[in-house]
């Protein structure tokens, strides 16, 4: 794994999200707690809604366009909706957020 | 003439004398003793005297002239020492009076808790005018403790509070007025009293009253010390029977009488609170008046018999509306019908036994109280009207339409949910597959999961499919995180003074760690509306449009709408808008229905920059995205139009400048038309003002969206100032009471325009609402464009990082 520093933890408000642009597409980073961050694809599997603009609750996010709800842990759509978004390894070190460059690279290669 | 002596000049004996004098003015020579140095006054009205709503003169029933005119010898201020039945004389402090017939009407004495310190100066009862005057004389700002949370204690507490005192009520039971109210109504009453600034402590047992000569504090069993300048004992009354007992009359808990009000001595009678009949005591005025009537007949040699009736109670505290009648304790075979409307603070409970109404408790709306009371007294069979009984007499009679039949008749391919394209067959399938409540149907089919207008229909499909197995829930919970309804949550936020989202989650038992996308925006609104100074708006609990202050479009871009006050703009503003549109490659520029210009297709990261440019030209956010004030649409009015009757443009601009920036349960749109031709289409707005020659007609509750509705008249006012005041007060009332995402017309459908009119027609209430609105505006009326386009805040709109650049290196 090659960890890439993408910003400070405090750049994302608690229960908020930010977006990171990668060559392969946009990745959303969700801060679900004081020291908990998840990374997934920013694009809703339904109609491409920007997930980083959604409301973050528990370890889930609700798409702002049509209220699809995703688990940030598995990327699976919840409830009646069927679909999945990619998830990426991410960790926090000394107040910085690191994302796995290989995982994003794999995606860009695909 | 026969000699009649009456001991006690209270309400019962007063009524007795009236009957006797009317029927046979010359039959008796009457002597009336009274320990109080005055005649009969309406003791029930002491509470309004205490609160200052009435004067003593207004509650006097019989004045000196009345006694004189009817030949009544008054011996007021004189205690009766004893009764000598052998000699048939009453011995007063100033001499004897012989009698042929004697009436004892000594009433009752307040019960004083015999705790240490009960005899200190400043400990009083609440029974007569002297007590009342003692309370009135107390300086405003001093501290009173009222012991006893029954009718009398609460009336005393409310009166003292109105006199400007700090009041604490101590009550031994778990809820107030436990003999008349159930816990739910007791809770509402408590919340109402607390809103008036009265502190209520239940399960509070007094240990002693402390003080050196006069009262200084009340100490409770749990050690709590309450500083006090005055202690009012209102824990109950005891029949005053000492005289009768000394005279050797038969006395149980009170003076025993037969149905003719005769005591154990055929020449001695008794009436009022000092009487015991068939084991029962009497404290309310209605049976006392019945007794007086019976006794008058007995004394006149006529036939009459006293029979106790069912009783009802009302509390005489202005603004606290409660009613209770009959028996409402739980018992086998009894069923409850309960109606709650927490937003309006309404609670009604009926108790039915063997198809008959046996008890009723109502709080907040007691208009139907007497009708229910009649049903209880008459023992009416209510089985035919049981379904609609709780809604009162207005809903009885006439066949109700059966909405279920219509739903049951729909074919399987009939569309129920238009938003998600779900037909009846799919819903029935889901129900048969185990989705037996609304939440489950939503989760499996998405029916009613978007705009929600078909919720009722989906519930009816559930009911038609499941039959009796499905109970339409009394109130829909906010979301899956809680069982509480919006109304419950709003009420609890106020009554429990919950001032943050974590406080709500914790205190109200949310099942999720921090809510969901449904409840968080609602809670955020309720909290900022109820606690504008204490609560801090949480952007993370707002839908993207309100967080980004722009409307998200289906491709993830945003639209930008500058505010144009009253729909009026200038060449310079238009130029700035045109420049911005070109600079940021805005693909679509469109004029909106609300007289604004919409720039569609702006990229999220450009938002702070286009705002800064528009700000520089003097334009601010148009809040076209908010659950808040959107637009005030106007026509040109008297400025240009030959038909205009008032300056509709000016009024529109004034309203918009006053209301902008305020958050509301749903979006709010206004319009002002300069004449009844109504070019601004004011009659389908949330608030629409139509100017006429004689003033301004204010209509509310219009809509032209999912539903189309014409406004209904709220008020007609003469001046522009009044039009602004009424509009602001209406918006604030809506902010304080409506559930989140109810437009004003939906809210009005629930609370009723009449209630809103009643509330707003009180000038003091209007002023208070306007003051609360203005207070909120000191926090929330600020331009988000200016705030968010600063360099620091603008960073939040850009990607956190751009790894495409790194990867390219």
**Which H or E run contains B76?**
strand B73-76
Kindly state the DSSP code that residue B566 receives in the 8-state scheme.
G
Taking CA–CA distances from B519, the nearest residue in chain A reads A57
Q: Which tokens go with B269?
A: 């009678």
CA distance B156 to B136: 11
CA B104 from centre of chain:
43
E-only strand ranges, B635-710:
668-673, 687-692, 695-700, 703-704, 708-709
The partner residues of B704 in beta bridges, in order of sequence, read B708
pLDDT-based confidence at residue B375 (cuts at 50, 70, 90): confident
For B385, residues 6+ apart whose C-beta sits below 8 A from its C-beta are B396
Question: Percentage of residues in chain B with pLDDT exceeding 70?
Answer: 94
Question: For residue B542, which residues of chain A lie inside 8 Å, CB to CB?
Answer: 55
Average pLDDT rounded to a whole number, residues B514-538: 93
Average pLDDT over residues B495-520: 85
Q: Give all strands of the β-sheet with B334-341 in edge-to-edge order.
A: B312-314, B322-326, B356-363, B346-353, B334-341
Residue A29 has pLDDT above 80, yes or no: yes
| Confidence bin at B806 (pLDDT 50/70/90) | low
Q: How far apart are CA B76 and CA B730, in angstroms?
A: 55
Six-digit token string for B535: 């609560």
Q: Which of B13-17, B180-184, B385-389 has the lowest mean pLDDT?
A: B180-184
Annotated binding-site residues of B read 635, 641, 675, 679
Structural domains of chain B, with CATH? 2-108+239-299 (3.50.50.60), 112-235 (3.50.50.60), 321-395 (3.30.390.30), 403-469 (1.10.10.1100), 486-542 (no CATH), 545-626 (3.90.480.10), 629-782 (3.30.413.10)
Q: Is residue A7 pLDDT above 80, yes or no? A: yes
Cα–Cα distance between B275 and B253 in angstroms, integer? Answer: 9
Name every chain B residue with its beta carbon within 8 A of the beta carbon of A47.
Answer: 554
- Which residues on adjacent β-strands are paired with residue B206? B220
Task: Kindly determine whether residue B552 and residue A65, on different chains, have CB atoms separated by under 8 Å.
Answer: yes
CB contact under 8 A, B516 and A57: yes
Average per-residue pLDDT in chain A?
Answer: 89
Q: Measure the CA–CA gap between B501 and B493, rounded to whole angstroms.
A: 10
CA distance, residue A22 to nearest chain B CA (Å): 5
Most confident of B38-47, B274-283, B762-771: B762-771
**Per-residue pLDDT for B719 more than 70?**
yes
Residue A47 to residue B556, Cβ atoms within 8 A: no
The two tokens of residue B334 are 């009894």
Phi/psi region, residue B556 (left: phi>0; alpha: psi -120 to 50; beta: rest), is left
Chain A interface disruption, residue of B441, B525, B799, most A CBs within 10 A: B799
Q: What is the pLDDT of residue A110?
A: 36
Tell if the CB–CB gap between A23 and B556 is shorter than 8 Å: no
Q: Name the residue among B449, B513, B552 with its Cβ closest to that of A58.
A: B513
ipTM: 0.89
Its sign, for the CA torsion B81, B83, B87, B89, is: positive
Average pLDDT, chain B: 88
Residue indicated by tokens 């017309």: B745
CA distance A7 to chain B (A): 7
d(C-alpha B428, C-alpha B442), whole Å:
12
Q: pLDDT tens, A36-93?
A: 999 999 999 999 999 999 999 989 999 998 899 999 999 999 988 889 999 999 999 9
Share of chain B above pLDDT 90, in %: 52
Q: Which tens digits make up the pLDDT trace of B225-256?
A: 999 999 999 988 889 999 999 999 999 999 99
Residues paired with residue A99 on neighbouring β-strands, in sequence order? A4, A90
Average pLDDT over residues B777-800: 90
| Rg for chain A, CA atoms, rounded | 13
- Chain B, nearest residue to A55 by Cα: B517
pLDDT in tens, A60-75: 999 998 899 999 999 9
Which of the residue ranges B392-396, B444-448, B485-489 has the most confident prediction, judged by mean pLDDT? B485-489
Looking at chain B, which residue has its C-alpha nearest residue A64? B544
pLDDT at B450: 65
Chain B residue whose CA is closest to A32: B514
Q: Judge whether residue B725 has pLDDT over 90.
A: yes
Bridge-partner residues for B359, per DSSP?
B326, B351
Nearest Cβ partner for B803 among A48, A65, A104: A104
Q: Residue B130's CB: how many other CB atoms inside 10 A?
A: 13
Q: What is the pLDDT, as a whole number, of residue B584?
A: 95
Average pLDDT over residues B142-169: 90
Q: What's the pLDDT score for residue B556? A: 85
pLDDT, average across residues A14-38: 91
Is A3 strand, coil or helix? Answer: strand
A65/B515 Cβ within 8 A: no
- Across the interface, whether the CB atoms of A20 and B800 are under 8 A apart is answered yes
Cβ-based contacts of B520 with chain A (< 8 Å): 55, 57
**B343 against B726, higher pLDDT:** B726
Distances (CA, A) of B732 to B527, B633, B767, B781: 14, 20, 11, 14
Give the C-alpha separation, B301 to B294, whole Å. Answer: 11
pLDDT of residue B118: 92
Q: How far apart are CA B172 and CA B188, in angstroms?
A: 18
Give per-residue pLDDT as tens, B555-585: 889 999 999 999 999 999 999 999 999 999 9
Q: List, in sequence order, the alpha helices (H) in B448-599.
A: 455-466, 486-495, 501-507, 519-530, 544-548, 571-583
Q: What is the DSSP string of B159-183?
A: HHHHTT-EEEEE-SSSSTTTTT--H
Mutate to test the interface with B, among A6, A17, A21, A105 (most CBs of B within 10 A): A21
pLDDT the model gives residue B297: 94
With pLDDT > 90 as the criterion, what percentage of chain A qualifies? Answer: 71
B198-230: b (≥16 Cβ within 10 Å) or e: bebbbebebbebbbeeebbbbbbeeeeebebbb
- B441, B505, B514, B556: which to substitute to probe chain A, counting the most A Cβ within 10 Å? B556
CB contact under 8 A, A21 and B799: yes
**Interval B300-311: pLDDT, tens:** 999 999 988 766
Q: What is the pLDDT of residues B301-356, one digit of tens each?
A: 999 999 887 666 666 665 667 888 887 766 777 888 877 776 667 788 888 988 89
pLDDT band of residue B452 (cuts 50, 70, 90) is low
- Provide the 8-state DSSP code for B381: B
Rounded to the nearest angstrom, the minimum Cα separation between A56 and chain B is 7
Instruction: Find out whether B358 and B327 touch, Cβ atoms under 8 Å.
Output: yes
Ordered DSSP codes for B83-104: EETTTTEEEETTEEEE-SEEEE
CB neighbour class for B600 (10 Å; exposed up to 12, middle 13-18, buried from 19) = middle
Q: pLDDT confidence of A108, banded at 50, 70, 90?
A: very low
pLDDT at B491: 82
- Number of helices (H), then strands (E), belonging to chain B: the values are 29, 39
Q: Residue B307: CB partners within 8 Å, gap ≥ 6?
A: B259, B290
Question: What domains does chain A contain, in order, with CATH numbers?
Answer: 3-105 (2.102.10.10)
pLDDT tens-digit profile of B122-137? Answer: 999 988 889 999 998 8
């Amino acid at each position: 794994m090659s960890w890439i520093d993408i910003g400070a933890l405090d750049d994302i408000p608690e229960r908020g999200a930010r977006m990171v642009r990668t060559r392969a597409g946009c990745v959303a980073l969700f801060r679900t707690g004081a020291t908990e961050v998840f990374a997934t694809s920013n694009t809703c599997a339904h109609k491409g809604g920007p997930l980083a603009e959604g409301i973050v609750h528990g370890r889930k996010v609700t798409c702002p366009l049509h209220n699809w709800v995703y688990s940030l842990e598995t990327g699976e759509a919840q409830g009646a909706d069927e679909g999945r978004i990619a998830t990426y390894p991410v960790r926090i070190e000394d107040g910085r957020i690191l994302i796995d460059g290989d995982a994003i690279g794999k995606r860009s290669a695909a | 003439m026969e000699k009649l002596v009456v001991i006690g000049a209270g309400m019962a004996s007063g009524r007795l004398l009236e009957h006797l004098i009317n029927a046979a003015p010359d039959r008796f020579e009457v002597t009336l003793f009274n320990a109080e140095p005055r005649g009969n006054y309406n003791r029930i009205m002491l509470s309004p005297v205490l609160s200052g709503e009435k004067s003593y003169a207004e509650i006097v029933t019989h004045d000196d002239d009345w006694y004189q005119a009817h030949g009544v010898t008054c011996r007021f201020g004189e205690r009766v020492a004893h009764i000598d039945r052998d000699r048939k004389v009453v011995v007063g402090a100033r001499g004897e009076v012989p009698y042929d017939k004697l009436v004892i009407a000594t009433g009752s004495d307040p019960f004083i808790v015999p705790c240490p310190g009960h005899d200190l100066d400043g400990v009083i009862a609440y029974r007569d005018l002297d007590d009342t005057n003692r309370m009135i004389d107390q300086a405003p700002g001093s501290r009173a403790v009222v012991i006893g949370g029954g009718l009398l204690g609460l009336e005393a507490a409310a009166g003292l509070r109105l006199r400007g005192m700090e009041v604490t009520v101590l009550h031994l039971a778990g809820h107030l007025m436990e003999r008349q109210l159930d816990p739910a109504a007791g809770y509402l009453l408590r919340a109402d009293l607390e809103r008036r600034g009265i502190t209520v402590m239940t399960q509070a047992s007094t240990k002693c009253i402390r003080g050196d000569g006069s009262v200084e504090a009340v100490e409770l069993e749990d050690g709590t010390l309450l500083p006090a300048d005055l202690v009012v004992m209102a824990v109950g009354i005891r029949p005053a029977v000492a005289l009768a007992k000394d005279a050797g009359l038969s006395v149980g808990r009170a003076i025993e009488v037969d149905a003719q009000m005769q005591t154990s001595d055929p020449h001695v009678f008794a009436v009022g609170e000092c009487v015991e009949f068939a084991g029962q005591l009497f404290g309310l005025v209605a049976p006392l008046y019945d007794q007086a009537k019976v006794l008058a007949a007995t004394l006149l040699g006529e036939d009459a018999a006293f029979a106790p009736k069912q009783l009802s109670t009302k509390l005489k505290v202005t603004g606290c509306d409660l009613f209770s009648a009959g028996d409402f304790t739980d018992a086998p075979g009894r069923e409850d019908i309960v109606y709650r409307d927490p937003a309006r603070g309404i609670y009604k409970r009926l108790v039915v036994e063997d198809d008959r109404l046996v008890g009723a408790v109502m709080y907040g709306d007691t208009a139907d109280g007497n009708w229910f009371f009649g049903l209880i007294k008459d023992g009416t069979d209510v089985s035919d009207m049981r379904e609609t009984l709780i809604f009162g007499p207005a809903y009885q009679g006439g066949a109700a339409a059966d909405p279920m039949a219509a739903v049951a008749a729909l074919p399987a391919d009939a569309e129920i949910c238009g938003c998600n394209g779900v037909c009846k067959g799919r819903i029935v399938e889901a129900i048969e597959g185990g989705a037996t409540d609304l939440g489950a149907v939503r989760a499996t089919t998405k029916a009613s999961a978007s705009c929600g207008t078909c919720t009722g229909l989906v519930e009816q499909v559930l009911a038609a499919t499941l039959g009796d197995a499905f109970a339409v829930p009394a109130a829909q919970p906010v979301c899956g995180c809680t069982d509480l309804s919006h109304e419950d949550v709003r009420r609890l936020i106020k009554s429990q003074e919950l001032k943050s989202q974590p406080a709500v989650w914790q205190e109200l038992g949310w099942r999720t760690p921090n809510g969901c996308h449904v409840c968080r925006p609602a809670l955020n609104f309720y909290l900022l509306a109820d606690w504008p100074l204490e609560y801090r708006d949480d952007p993370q609990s707002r839908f993207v449009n309100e967080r980004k202050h722009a409307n998200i479009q289906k491709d993830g871009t945003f639209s930008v709408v500058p505010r144009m006050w009253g729909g009026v703009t200038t060449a310079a503003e238009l130029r700035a808008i045109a420049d911005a549109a070109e600079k940021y490659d805005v693909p679509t520029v469109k004029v909106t229905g609300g007289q604004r210009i919409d720039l569609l297709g702006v990229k999220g990261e450009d938002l702070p920059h286009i705002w800064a440019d528009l700000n520089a030209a003097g334009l601010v956010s148009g809040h076209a995205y908010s659950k808040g004030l959107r637009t005030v649409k106007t026509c040109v009015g008297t400025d240009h139009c030959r038909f205009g009757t008032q300056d509709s443009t000016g009024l529109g601009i004034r309203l918009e400048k006053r209301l902008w920036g305020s958050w509301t349960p749903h979006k709010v749109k206004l319009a002002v038309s300069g004449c009844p031709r109504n070019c601004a289409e004011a009659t389908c707005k949330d608030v629409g003002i139509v100017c006429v020659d004689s003033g301004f007609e204010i209509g509310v509750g219009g809509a032209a969206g999912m539903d189309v509705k014409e406004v209904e008249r709220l008020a007609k006012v003469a001046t522009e100032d009044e039009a602004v005041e009424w509009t602001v007060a209406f918006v604030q009332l809506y902010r304080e009471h409506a559930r989140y995402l109810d437009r004003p017309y939906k809210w009005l459908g629930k609370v009723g325009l009449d209630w809103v009119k009643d509330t707003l027609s009180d000038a003091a209430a209007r002023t208070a609402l306007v003051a609360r609105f203005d207070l909120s505006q000191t926090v929330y009326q600020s331009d988000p464009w200016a705030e968010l386009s600063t360099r620091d805040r603008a960073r939040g709109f850009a990607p956190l990082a751009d790894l495409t650049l790194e990867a390219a290196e």
